[in-house]
Chains A and B, each alone.
Chain A
Amino acid sequence: MKRRQFILAAASLTAATTLPGCSSGSSSSGGGGDVTLQMVESLTNPTRSEVLKKLLAEFESANPGIKVQLVSPPTEQADQKIQQMLQAGSGADVLEVRDLTVGPFSNNGWLYDMTADVEKWDGFANLTPQAQKYSKHTDGKTYFIPYGFYGLSLFYRTDLIKEAGFSAPPTNWDELLTQASKIQDPSKNRYGYAFRGGKNGNGNVVACIEAYVGDTIDRENAFKTKDGKSIFVAPEAQQAVDTYFQLFTKASPPSSVAWGYPEMVEGFNNGSTAFLLQDPEVIATINASKSITKDQWNTAPLLTGPSGKASQPVATAGWGVAKSSKNTEAAVKLVEFLSGDASTTFAKENSLVPILKTAGADEFYKTGPWASYVTMTEQPDTYLTVVQPRGVAWWTEWSTKADNDVQQVLINKMSTAELLKSWDEFWVKKWNG
């Protein structure tokens, strides 16, 4: 008898430890009509999580009966973690959806379609046209509402350009090349431009090409010109890459072949590099710099091409709802809350371009390094906002390939013409399926 009991116990123990699928991680807690939402963020950092927690506390006090639990996985693994949760169908009610993940997530049927809810929501009218546009996916449905935008501006050293004899920061790529080359002096450990040769180095090459084809670019698919061809075969593209890669040979640190985000920002932050093309979140970093003071630097609008136009390749992320959520109503409520006034606090604290129309009037965005972003929104015909095809299935494949090709050019294993040809072939092949 005893033995049988033992075997039974062993068998049930085995089952319990080896069948993890049996335990269900329901995110709703029953008692008294209370609802607990699980919210998962992706681009996590400690300061940001603090801001979020404060906003969530406000939401909870405004909505008694709804509790929100914030899950903050480390950034590097966050999207994978979110993916696992969505795949398992539990653990996430509200989640951070990025322009890079909305494609796969919605394609796999993991995201709740908020279109009907957004139609009923008053707050939608308060969003900037850009935010409204980006809250609709290519299939016309709303899977997330952006919390802010990333966009490029030119960080520059006011003192260094003055020393070099220039009265104003560059407005186009040619001027940047001239100014950066003049400032470059490796013997003093001083460099013109914080070149991005490492991870995501292709982004700035594409931004430069998009400026040069400003007259003909298809704004809904910024990798195409209006005639339906890829931007990489446009005659201006060759001019663009030649100028761009001269920035490396004439005006950048030699080791910037391998520079990614941290090196670029550090290069500007420690005072050795005069120009940096980056997203607004860097403003907060440079404000805290110990090597350069606030009157030594500023930002200027994105550089234009010979057409006098620049194309702003917008990147974004926002809040969405998981299809598997059992508390859709509460989850949508939270997304709407975060996309209301709370979004301006969030954007300010995290150095993001805000999503509300009213935020433009805020003193914070009118002065200092933020002013160039206001300038860019005020001149939409010069600074075109364009949509890059970041949601396609092959975006990371593209990014890896393009980064690799950029480095091939930098180490003289590929010519700029070959680079453009192979980029054109890549996209045409993908577009034709």
Chain B
Amino acid sequence: MSVTDHHSKKKPFTIRKGLSLLGFLAPAVVVVAVFTYYPLLRGSQMAFRQWNLFDLRNTPWVGFSNFATLLSNPTFYTVLKNSVIWVVGSIVPQLLIGFGLALLLRRRFRFRGIYQALVFFPWAVSGFLIGILFRWMFNGEFGVINDLLRKTGLIETNIAWLATPKTAMFAVIVANVWYGVTFFAIMILAALQSVPEELLEAGAIDGAGKVRTLFQIVIPFIRTTLLLTVLLRVIWVFNFPEIIYGMTGGGPAQQTHIVTSWMINFTQQGDYGVASALGLIVVAVLIIFTSFYLMALKERDAR
């Protein structure tokens, strides 16, 4: 088959060809449209309507009144503040402990496989279940945490962890740190294993100590993975109400609600309009955050 032959066989772009191309694309387009974008749009329009499960036969358009309801509620600002505390307070320790674990797990030792599996296990447990377990552990009277603290002599009287806003927030963050460390450990361990041996050897020959190797060779090498993992986790943790819902239900007095656990409250009241408005606010916040984060990332890469 010569080259000219091939060219002569190439048909011009016809409607028929266009249609068949569309036919092949259709399954993907339709699936995404029907299962992702249709529900998304349908959910979004609820935000601009009075949409209460109590009366679905009457769902008039109400403009921005659902948003106004939210913005005029003082809890909204508590919830925003809590969301930031929740994300930062959870992710920083998760990252540090996860990194440490990954470094330890990189070494070879007996039963490493089993040990790794055990470390990663929490990631497989449902967040709601973890919330309920930690709710009992942090119980002021019957909880294991007060019991341990008393036995080790760190406290003399029980702390009513979930009874005051500050200690309750601390408790839910502890639970979340415990849960999320694993994911960082998995991701960072994978990244660490991609650091070439030669690079480390070269560093050693040039006389770099352990600390210097870590900060000047290893971390720069896995930087992209680290930053993207953090980005992913920020989005996930922001959208992760299960532990809070299971542990405190947002209490005491709504002081431990984050945006998404507060949203569950509205859906439980049947008010899908307000819940949907809150959902749109979350999407907007996350899009803005992600754009800035990625821009900052690019800028640093360009330097």
Contacts and interface: CB of A to CB of B under 8 A. Distances in A.
A255 B140 contact: yes
A263 B165 CA distance: 19
Interface of A is mostly: helix
A313 interface: no
Nearest to A108: B56
Assign chain B's interface to a size class.
35 or more
A166 B303 CA distance: 80
Interface in B131-163: 139-142, 157-158, 160-163
B57 A108 contact: yes
B251 interface: yes
A408 B254 CA distance: 9
Contacts, number: 112
A400 B248 contact: no
Given A10-B23, A258-B252, A396 B141 contact: no
Given A103-B54, A197-B252, A258-B163, A14 B30 contact: yes
Interface string A403-418: 1110110110100000
A286 interface: no
A255 B26 contact: no
Nearest to A260: B249
B263 to A, nearest CB: 13
B44 interface: no
Contact of B268 (A14, A109, A256, A396): A396
B31 interface: yes
B47 interface: no
A3 interface: yes
B35 interface: yes
A400 B252 contact: no
Contacts of A256: 163
Given A258-B168, A258-B251, A407-B251, A10 B26 contact: yes
A7 interface: yes
A269 B257 CA distance: 30
Given A258-B251, A258-B252, A11 B55 contact: no
Nearest to A403: B251
A13 B164 contact: no
Interface residues of A, number: 46
B139 A109 contact: no
> Which of B141, B161, B168 is the most central at the interface, judged by chain A CB atoms within 10 Å of its CB?
B141
Given A10-B23, A18-B34, A191-B141, A397 B271 contact: yes
Given A11-B23, A198-B249, A257-B162, A400 B268 contact: yes
B30 A393 contact: no
A83 interface: yes
B253 A411 contact: yes
Contacts of A253: 140-141, 160
A266 B265 CA distance: 26
Given A14-B27, A258-B252, A411-B165, A189 B54 contact: no
B163 A255 contact: yes
Contact of B160 (A257, A267, A400): A257
B53 interface: yes
A254 interface: yes
Contacts of B31: 14, 17-18
Contact of B52 (A10, A189, A197, A393): A393
B53 A7 contact: no
B24 A396 contact: no
A83 B56 CA distance: 12
A250 interface: no
Given A83-B53, A109-B57, A411 B20 contact: no
Contacts of B139: 255, 263
A104 interface: yes
B270 interface: yes
Contacts of B35: 18
A254 B55 CA distance: 41
A26 interface: no
Given A14-B27, A393-B54, A396-B269, A410 B252 contact: yes
Interface in B203-218: none
Contacts of B161: 255
A24 interface: no
8 contacts: A87-B56, A104-B54, A107-B55, A198-B251, A199-B249, A258-B248, A393-B54, A413-B253
